[in-house]
A and B are shown apart, each in its own frame.
Chain A
Amino acid sequence: MAVLTDRPATPVARRADRGPRARVNRILGYAVLIAFGLIFLYPFVIQLGNSFKTEPDAAANPLSPLPDSLTLAGFERIFAGTNFPLWLGNSLLVTVLVTLGRVFFDSLAGYALARLRFRGRAGLFAAVIAVMAVPGVVLLIPKFLVLKQLGLYDSYAGLVVPLLADAAGVFIMKQFFESVPVSVEEAARIDGAGVFRTFWSVVLPMARPALITLTILSFQGSWNEFPHSLVSVQDPDLFTLPRGLADLVSGSLGKGTQYPLKLGAALLATIPVAVLFVIFQRYFVRGANEGADKG
């Protein structure tokens, strides 16, 4: 994890670190860090603070992170007055299924593309690369068409099945399997284990870091997925969290801005990914940099 380690300073570098000029530079550096730290984090602080405010308080003092008088009214209305629990359940179901599917199917395909010699492999890999370049947003109408045609529109299957595999995940797994030495697999194969057996009980356990990266990327991706749910379902009972949130904002709440409620709902929708981020940060970083390897 090159990104997370600091390189030790050499004597030349250490000499440059001292002196008054270095101190000015350091102070400037911290000033920049703190200023941007505020820009990037304060919106979340505002969100947190205002979700515990009364509506007039949030409207009058939006900048202040502290409520005049702390109230849970917004959150109570999220659970009593909206379909939030339903959206949460749908999101959990979709996310778990999509994540399981992606991790399994992407690693199968990634392994085959990295290790198994079969006719058409090079062509298939080129196709995977090409598919990664297809912009997702131009697929809205196409996806709707195919789901309608297959009778999957407005169903859990429509929400889940199209997301069960993704080209980027296949690419990540292929890259990983190529970096693993072949010798272990060969030993297993010589011992008479079949291809799937070798993959399942020898190769996959070694792929833990890549599997965690892929799990996290898939979880985050499907938890936050919005456009797909927009074109695959219209039944409010099948809304996922992002879809439900968007619905709240577009005015299904009726009167008033109800910002504490909206901010609270958005906050609750953010928490799972935030927790994951705090725990598995370096895998997120690795995931982001997989993008850099593609180039």
Chain B
Amino acid sequence: MATEALRAPATTPVKPPRRRGGVRGNENIAGWLFVAPVIVILGLFLLLPILMALWVSLTDWNGQGSPFTGDVPFVGGDNYTRLFTEDGLDRRDFMTSIRNNMYYVGIVVPVQTALALGLALVVNNRMLKGKGFFRSAFYFPSVTSSVAISVVFLFLFANSGAVNKLLALLGINGPEWFADSRGVLHLLLGAVGVDNPPGALTSGGPLGLTWWDWLSGPSVAMVSIICLVIWTTSGTFMLMFLAALQNVPVALDEASTLDGASRWQRFRHVTLPLIKPTTFLVLTLGLIGSWQVFDQVYVMSQGDPAKTTLTPAYLSYRTAFRDFDYGSGAAISFVLFLIIILLTLLQRRVMADRDEPRRARWWRRRVPERS
């Protein structure tokens, strides 16, 4: 096993070192030998498989035999067009999973970022004692196994579980979390009296789902997964904010205090601009991570109830390994890949643009603004 990777570099042809600059020649070979195991492993189990999956996504392979023989029907872009342009179950499932994940991201990313920053600010407060303990407490869920934690949350959110017992103490009748496919936005509309959806919204809509379906909000079942994820990830991001906050010069904070700036003003105009790179990082990592939600869905809900916890990652797994439609499954994961990369680029662009105008203006004028 391990020896295979170790032996691999020896099979690559090694040119004898050139005479001139013996050390440099040595380093050239040594350099490649040192990185060879990593190249072999990442190449073999990361890059090569991506290319293989790209091929499979253009076929109708059902898991029998090798996908690289002539017997496997080549279908071109069919697996992709079925996700976007052909009305049918494939597109409906895929779009449902996209909708579910959009609501999931829309709640998880802002809430975990705000919570992480809030916790970091409290833990960074120099007046409080015992902060070390709380910092560990907030961070601990992040290091535990996602599967083990999902088991705990299944128990917490069970019908007569801890969460519903707590809600009962407040006089609220808790839902049957994992059986409840009702969308939160639909429930809110119901609460203000809109019980029957307006016909305009149910009669049609983009990409195979009705407008009413698109506007459902996350289902009650999804909300419990959202709670779990926010609970497990906030600690890691808190540590990142904490590291950034500790780099904010004390003198700057004090100077603004002496200038009479209020606590909020100091936060808004001194702290926040200084930790902006970290905020950007936390948002990006959050965005990337929350489009990948898989373990929790696998353990807690398997996409149920009524497909409202289906996410693209889980759908791609299910399509390939349960329905044996590897071509479609691979196509879904490439679309997901694209979504994640595009979001990362887009967000980088937005953050860069926000910095850009000010700098550009400053360069053009060449005159200090306050002179």
Contacts and interface: CB of A to CB of B under 8 A. Distances in A.
Contacts of B46: 131, 134, 139
A273 B50 contact: no
B148 A289 contact: no
B49 A139 contact: yes
B37 A108 contact: yes
B94 interface: no
Task: Give the bracket for the number of chain A residues in contact with chain B.
Answer: 35 or more
Contact of B155 (A9, A263, A269): A263
A227 to B, nearest CB: 6
Given A139-B46, A266-B152, A108 B38 contact: yes
Contacts of A183: none
A117 B24 contact: yes
Contact of A242 (B2, B53, B56, B148): B148
Interface in A125-181: 131, 133-146, 148-150, 156-157, 160-162, 164-165, 167, 170
A145 B49 contact: yes
B278 A250 contact: no
Contacts of B146: 224, 226, 242
A32 B231 CA distance: 16
B155 A277 contact: no
- Chain A interface SS verdict (over half): helix
A39 B334 CA distance: 37
A44 B298 CA distance: 21
B197 to A, nearest CB: 34
Contacts, number: 325
B26 A270 contact: no
In this complex, the member of B30, B128, B144, B151 whose beta carbon has the largest number of chain A beta carbons within 10 angstroms is: B151
Contacts of B67: 145
Nearest to B298: A246
Interface in B113-155: 119, 122-123, 125-128, 130-134, 136-155
Interface stretch (A66-74, A76-84, A204-212, A280-288): A280-288
Contacts of B278: 292, 295
B244 A121 contact: no
Given A39-B231, A146-B48, A195-B27, A109 B294 contact: no
B126 A13 contact: yes
Interface in A79-106: 97, 100-101, 105-106
Contact of A161 (B28, B45, B236, B291): B45
Given A161-B1, A285-B139, 11 more contacts: A6-B131, A10-B254, A13-B250, A40-B141, A142-B49, A142-B50, A195-B27, A220-B143, A249-B151, A269-B148, A292-B278
15 contacts: A3-B246, A9-B126, A29-B122, A36-B134, A63-B165, A112-B30, A117-B24, A118-B30, A135-B340, A137-B336, A138-B292, A138-B340, A140-B317, A224-B146, A266-B152
Interface of B: 1-2, 4-5, 23-24, 26-32, 34-35, 37-39, 41-42, 44-50, 52-53, 56, 66-68, 119, 122-123, 125-128, 130-134, 136-156, 158, 160-162, 165-166, 231, 235-236, 239-240, 242-244, 246-247, 250, 254, 257-258, 277-278, 280-281, 284-285, 288, 291-292, 294-295, 298-299, 302, 313, 316-317, 320-321, 326, 329-330, 333-334, 336-337, 340-341, 344
